[in-house]
Amino acid sequence: MIRSALQRFQASGALGQLVRYCIAGSISAGLYSAVYLSLAWWVFPAERAVLAVPFAFTVAIVAGFLLHSRWSFAGHGTRSSNGTQQGKFLIVHSAGFGLNLAFTWVLTAGLGAPIWTPLIPIVLITPIVTFLLQRQWVFA
State the average pLDDT over residues 17-46.
91
CA distances from 15 to 24, 71, 93 (A): 14, 14, 22
Which of the 8 DSSP states describes residue 116? T
Residue 99 has phi, psi (to 5 degrees) of -60, -45
Separation of CA 48 from chain center? 22
Domain boundaries, the chain: 13-138
Each residue of 92-140: pLDDT tens digit? 989 999 999 999 999 999 999 999 999 999 999 998 898 888 778 887 7
Report pTM. Answer: 0.75
CA torsion sign for 115, 116, 121, 123 is: positive
